[in-house]
Amino acid sequence: MNPTIQQKQKTSVFLVAFGLACFGLLLKAQAQLPAPSPDGSYPGGNTAEGHNALLSLTDGLLNTAVGHHSLTGNTTGSSNTATGAGALTSNTTGDQNTAAGFGALAGNTIGERNTASGFAALARNTTGSRNVAIGFQAGENATTGSGNVYIGAGMLGVAGENNACYIASIDRHTSPSGVAVLIDSNNKLGTIMSSRRYKEDITPMNNTSEALFSLKPVTFRYKKELDPQGVQQWGLVAEDVQRVNPALVALDKEGKPYSVRYDQVNAMLLNEFLKEHRHVQVQDAIIARQQKQIDALSAGLQKVSAQLELNKTAPQTAANNQ
């Protein structure tokens, strides 16, 4: 073989082997490198997509901002989720807020654990915490209050209020076969169950209801912060009722008198009404018997009077006949 050709073949084999070796080293090096971060991912478990989203972030962790100017002002706030243009845009240090919708929680700065879903929901809230707003402009007027619930479009609320609840579409609708809804000190909604299968130790009320005679009904007006119009009210004072019968009073979370259990008062009123009704029935029966006796006596007196009159006129008649 020509020595020149033989040398070229050896060179080609060497280059191929060298190329394969380099390719193997490159694959190994790539396997050792960390995988590239997904689009929009930042240190501390933060995710941002959109113009100026999470623009001011410093130490905050686990935030998610999706939308134009979402969570723009957030610096150290953590575990916030903002979806929508301007959502949580003013938040700085508030934690665990969730905003979904254009401008939702836009004004929030340090408020925490708020949930807003809907266009401009809780848009003006600044420092209030633990608020929930669902619907178009729900809770938009809320500012610094906490623990409020706004459900439904247009349930705007009032600035600075606390622990208020607004639910759309429940006013001016009658439920003829429904039952009254009660709320306990833990904010649990429930109804009164009257079926025997839910009860035990059933005994007649008897004279227990006579505690009602010690109650003092009053007229009053709620304080201005509760009712600015000062509408005249009628009812009972819980502290007064508690002294008469503690079971007729509902307590708040601190164990203080909060409201009167008027449903129980009504049951006691029914018992007193039935007792009085039975008493009246007995009296009516006695009166009926007495009336019969009176009627019988009246009939007897009439007979006696007639006989006396007859006896009185008989001698005169005899004299006239002579």
The reported pLDDT for the residue numbered 46 is 96
pLDDT tens digits, the chain, 322 residues: what are they?
Answer: 544 444 444 434 433 444 444 344 433 433 443 444 567 789 999 999 999 999 999 999 999 999 999 999 999 999 999 999 999 999 999 999 999 999 999 999 999 999 999 999 999 999 999 999 999 999 999 999 999 999 999 999 999 999 999 999 988 888 888 888 888 888 888 998 899 999 999 999 999 999 999 999 999 999 998 899 999 999 999 999 999 999 999 999 899 999 999 999 999 999 999 999 999 999 999 999 999 999 999 998 988 888 888 887 766 666 666 6
DSSP helix, strand, coil percent of the chain (3-state; round to 5)? 35, 15, 50
Instruction: Return the structure tokens found at 89.
Output: 């845009």
The reported pLDDT for the residue numbered 38 is 61
The reported pLDDT for the residue numbered 223 is 94
**Residue whose tokens read 């600015």:** 228
The reported pLDDT for the residue numbered 318 is 63
Question: Which of the 8 DSSP states describes residue 109?
Answer: S
The reported pLDDT for the residue numbered 320 is 66
Residue 146, sorted as left (phi over 0), alpha (psi -120 to 50) or beta, turns out to be beta
The reported pLDDT for the residue numbered 176 is 84
Assessment of whether the complete model's pTM goes beyond 0.75:
no
The reported pLDDT for the residue numbered 51 is 95
Q: Do residues 92 and 75 make contact, with C-beta atoms less than 8 angstroms apart? A: yes
The reported pLDDT for the residue numbered 16 is 40
The reported pLDDT for the residue numbered 230 is 95
**For residues 131 and 143, what is the distance between their CA atoms, to the nearest angstrom?**
10
CA atoms within 13 A on the CB side of 136: 2
SS3 assignment, position 171: coil
The reported pLDDT for the residue numbered 26 is 36
Residue 66: phi and psi, rounded to 5, are -130, 110
Helical segments of the chain, H only: 3-32, 238-244, 262-321
The reported pLDDT for the residue numbered 25 is 40
**For residues 10 and 2, what is the distance between their CA atoms, to the nearest angstrom?**
13
Residue 150: phi and psi, rounded to 5, are -130, 115
Q: Do residues 113 and 128 make contact, with C-beta atoms less than 8 angstroms apart? A: no
Instruction: Return the structure tokens found at 302.
Output: 């009439």
The reported pLDDT for the residue numbered 209 is 94
Q: How many helices (H) and strands (E) does the chain have?
A: 3, 15
The domain ranges of the chain are 40-168
Whole-angstrom CA distances from 229 to 156, 233, 258 are 20, 12, 22
Q: What fold does the segment set 40-168 form as a domain?
A: Alkaline Protease, subunit P, domain 1 (2.150.10)
**For residues 298 and 295, what is the distance between their CA atoms, to the nearest angstrom?**
5
Q: Which of 125, 130, 131, 74 lies closest to 103, judged by CA?
A: 125
The reported pLDDT for the residue numbered 322 is 62
First to last CA, the chain: 198
**For residues 64 and 70, what is the distance between their CA atoms, to the nearest angstrom?**
9
> Rounded to the nearest 5 degrees, what angle is found at the Cα of 262, between the Cα atoms of 261 and 263?
90
SS3 assignment, position 207: helix
